[in-house]
Structure 1
Amino acid sequence: MNSGTTELAWFKSSYSGSEGDSCVEIAAAEQAVHVRDSKDVSRPAFAVGRESWEPFVRFASER
């Protein structure tokens, strides 16, 4: 799902380094959370349904 991702407000985690290496950016939209590679924003982003995003973040933060 890459449709319309250029007008989204993208941001990186506050835990990301300033060098821009090995990071992803996210943009929250009404229906989904979009994810892309911050090193190469020309590559397609993908989207995760909002109902799936919170359990994913909770799982990842427990690691």
Structure 2
Amino acid sequence: MGRGKIEIKRIENTTSRQVTFCKRRNGLLKKAYELSVLCEAEIALIVFSARGRLYEYASN
């Protein structure tokens, strides 16, 4: 049994939004790494937070 669909909308609670961003950012970086390993692809990923902080991943 799969998960139910949720409505995609902005999270109003600042703390909750920051926690969600951190978790999803880490998941996205992990997926980029896995894609680069499994497919031998060169991957570059750039993410800016709401505060303007840079998070990046490069497979090389």
Give me the TM-score of the superposition, normalised by structure 2: 0.30
The structure with more helix, counted as a fraction of residues? 2
Larger RCO (CA within 8 A; separation ≥ 6) = 1
Computing the radius of gyration from Cα coordinates, the structure with the larger value is 2
